[in-house]
Structure 1
Amino acid sequence: MKKSIVLMTGLCILSLHYLYSQGSPDYDGGLKVKFNEDGSKYLRVISWAQVQTTYNDNVADDASSINFNLRRARILMFAQINSKFLILTHFGLNSLNSGTMSPVGKGEGSQLFFHDVWAQYSIAENHTIGGGLHYFNGISRLNNQSTLNIMTLDNNRQSWSTIGLTDQFARHIGIFAKGKFGGLQYRIAVNDAITNGLDAREPEVNGAAVYGGRRLIGSKDAGKVIAGYFDYNFLDQESNFLPFKVGSYLGGKKVFNIGAGFFLHPSGSVYADGTGELHGEDVSIFAIDAFYDSPLGENGAAITAYATFQSNDYGRDYLFSAYGTGSMIYGHVGYVIPGDKTKTRFQPYVSYGSNSYDAVDDNRNILGIGINSYMSGHNSKLTLEYKNEEFGDSTGTLTLQAMIYL
């Protein structure tokens, strides 16, 4: 039959994957431009927005306790003309608020930028290589977390373990390989480290390390990073077509995975000895984790649980923002209350993380208590969360987030 371009909702090659992973009875595979009759040549488009209202009483006397934030505004597109190769483009902005807006939308915080642009090629059944600005990260499931279906209000911040230090918003430019051997899935990557990372400090004599190896000692010794993540799927098999890990299936699958991952950056950090001479220190991060998501009976109830232990070596006594040499434990659990899957569903949850740092005696402890209201699975939901963070001082924040994605 004559080829045509048909705008449609449904009949995507991966429609079952997206239906189950998002838990929506209305989504049915999303938006697709089909270039042939069987849908094997297509363009897939996803768009989403997350808008927040936050309350924080730990502010200056002249500051408002209530503020608004456009947490994410994104568009993601990927296309195939055959199963041998794929191109993906993902752009948007993050955390647009009164402090990052500009009068005519040209300020740094107002700008759209590319999150991902990569091409990938199938070299054998279930095995793919690719390159570009990509999100095939190592370390843990949460370092590969999708922002479409996070169970908690947002990802555990410390689990995006290199964001802004060696990458652009958790993405590196490099090459990757991904695939699976039965139930074992893998992703490995070799990437360039960013030159101008967030840690712009200069090393102090006999002081702590700073994360700036490529900037301070050059790309020959400190230019590359290596990362990998491996997880075994004991029950239902998760899709690894894209790198983004699902946060909660809402009982749409029965999943139990155990994973392990790493991140290595030779001479990624730098310290100055007693004479002021600079020396590179290897950065190494390792983690193990487990993920469980399952329906409970036939009445719509479901459980989601996740736990991880992570060892972080950013260099001697390293401490910058949320990151530091030491260790981290983190976990969360959520329960979907029984009810009609075609109506609004509720999922209370709790999360807890504790981060220890070699440089200080205090741990950073973070407790989150929240509830999701799913009006159409993850495609339309409200999240209310209270988060308390203790690190020297104690800070409590209450946030209401509305999210829609199509």
Structure 2
Amino acid sequence: MRKQHFILIGLLLVSFQLLKAQGSPDYSGGLKFKFNEDGSKYLRLISWAQVQANYNTDDSFDSNGNENSKLSFNLRRARVLMFAQINKDFLILTHFGLNSLTSTTLSPTGTGEGSQLFFHDVWAQYNLGKDHTIGGGLHYFNGISRLNNQSTLNMMTLDNNRQSWATIGLSDQFARHLGVFLKGKFDKLQYRVAINDAASSTLDSRTATAGGDAVYNGRLNLGSKDAGKTYAGYFDYHFLDQESNFLPYKVGSYLGGKKVFNIGAGFFLHPKGSVIDTGTALSPNLEGEDVSIFAVDAFYDAPIGENGSALTAYAVFQNNDYGKNYLYSAYGTGSMIYGHVGYVLKGDAAKTRYQPYISYGTHSYDAVSDDRTTLGVGVNAYMSGHNSKLTLEYKNQQFGALDANTISLQAMIYL
């Protein structure tokens, strides 16, 4: 009966996932192919797809001036992730898929840019002893904060805080850089650092104007010699249970399965990543401006008593310097404070449990006097941890003339 109800809800208004996540009481997830008797040589395969249905309470219009439907659908994520342990020291990981396929990016024959699969991650790594690993490729060992390293499989809120993926499409490929990384731990202190090539193409395709604000396309305008490298790092101290750093993806909520309290700090540096024009309209003079982002954060997740209740809480302060008065989409020179809190109500872990939550963020910009604020209020219904979950969320975003209200319903399953 529960399965029939779930399918019915999914047909009406769904977001569907097949994925690997923490939180299920009786399932480890994914497929694992063992190549020897003890399982030390293996290939693990995980696949997920996510479809979202969103209801926008406000009127909106397309580029032709036609009023959009309030209800819209989005193939938010469709991914395949594979990793293979060649021996105890070597590992290779491959992760590919597409994101945010909508009616405006569909193409008649599936060959359009929005319909194309691409690699999210492809890296190889080698263990330097028990607790330290070096690797290289297209990777997700990011700096700045926990949310900039967030897994998309087990978020507590409906989706990640957008401004926390602070370089997405500006110096990287969908939050992944091409470079080398070193990760590991010293007792309770975990670390990840990386040196990467900056992307020469960027979402910010604007041209710097004389006396104007910075634009983030230094690699394109100044060349790789001046703006070719980025540097990132994140360090977190684990006071209670130790989290795994086998893969880079940070867990959003353990639902009380662990007792975790971490304090973290991180950075991202891109020397001369942005450019300004200090010349005139007739005689341009492009100069590089350093991009520097720093953050401190705290994460807490623990059971409350012995009745199945659990608390998840997260907070981050992030200082962003993208160059002089930089402002593009959600990103800009200024500062951000963000946090969320969720509480799993008491109940049997093998049965449906509920987790109401609230999130709030405020982002100030040097370029304008208005702050961007986001408020999210939602509830998760966990029928088998993260393996089977319904999420209902209301989100409000305000910035200048923007006052957007969205109601989303998501159903999530991974097998």
Q: TM-score normalised to the size of structure 2?
A: 0.92
Write the distance in 2 (CA, Å) between the matches of 1:405 and 1:112: 21
- Stretches of structure 1 lacking an aligned partner (at least 5 in a row): 1-17
Asked whether the 8 Å contact 1:231–1:257 carries over to 2, the reply is yes
Asked whether the 8 Å contact 1:51–1:403 carries over to 2, the reply is no
Residue of structure 1 in register with 2:9 after alignment: none
Residue of structure 1 in register with 2:202 after alignment: 197
Write the distance in 2 (CA, Å) between the matches of 1:404 and 1:131: 32
Within the alignment, does 1:312 sit opposite 2:320 as a pair? yes
User: Map of 1:327-338 to 2, 5 A cutoff?
Assistant: 327-338=335-346
Give the CA deviation at 1:378.
Answer: 1.0
Residue of structure 2 in register with 1:396 after alignment: 405
What are the Cα deviations for residues 104-149 of structure 1, in whole angstroms up to 9, with x where unaligned? 1111111111000000000111100000000000000000000000
**Secondary structure, aligned partner of 1:369:** strand
Residue of structure 2 in register with 1:354 after alignment: 362
Write the distance in 1 (CA, Å) between the matches of 2:148 and 2:332: 16
**Secondary structure, aligned partner of 1:109:** helix
Residue of structure 2 in register with 1:280 after alignment: 288
Select which of 112, 126, 131 maps to 1:107: 112
Within the alignment, does 1:344 sit opposite 2:352 as a pair? yes
Write the distance in 1 (CA, Å) between the matches of 2:99 and 2:276: 32
Asked whether the 8 Å contact 1:148–1:405 carries over to 2, the reply is no
Within the alignment, does 1:301 sit opposite 2:306 as a pair? no
Asked whether the 8 Å contact 2:215–2:276 carries over to 1, the reply is yes
Residue of structure 2 in register with 1:128 after alignment: 133
The letter of the residue matching 1:403 is: M
Give the CA deviation at 1:29.
Answer: 4.6
Asked whether the 8 Å contact 1:289–1:309 carries over to 2, the reply is yes
Most deviating of 56-65 and 97-106? 56-65
User: Map of 1:4-403 to 2, 5 A cutoff?
Assistant: 22-58=22-58, 59-60=60-61, 62-275=67-280, 276-392=284-400, 393-403=402-412
What are the Cα deviations for residues 212-232 of structure 1, in whole angstroms up to 9, with x where unaligned? 000001000000000000000
Asked whether the 8 Å contact 1:49–1:403 carries over to 2, the reply is no
**Secondary structure, aligned partner of 1:221:** helix
The letter of the residue matching 2:265 is: A
- Stretches of structure 2 lacking an aligned partner (at least 5 in a row): 1-18
Asked whether the 8 Å contact 1:49–1:404 carries over to 2, the reply is no
Asked whether the 8 Å contact 1:49–1:72 carries over to 2, the reply is yes
**Secondary structure, aligned partner of 1:334:** strand
What are the Cα deviations for residues 207-263 of structure 1, in whole angstroms up to 9, with x where unaligned? 000000000010000000000000000000000000000000000000000000000
Q: TM-score normalised to the size of structure 1?
A: 0.94
Give the CA deviation at 1:402.
Answer: 1.9
Give the CA deviation at 1:102.
Answer: 1.0
The letter of the residue matching 2:53 is: T
Deviating above 4 A after TM superposition, structure 1's stretches of 4 or more consecutive aligned residues are none
The alignment covers a number of residue pairs equal to 388
Write the distance in 2 (CA, Å) between the matches of 1:404 and 1:135: 24
Asked whether the 8 Å contact 1:190–1:227 carries over to 2, the reply is yes
Residue of structure 2 in register with 1:6 after alignment: none
Write the distance in 1 (CA, Å) between the matches of 2:205 and 2:409: 33
Give the CA deviation at 1:380.
Answer: 1.8
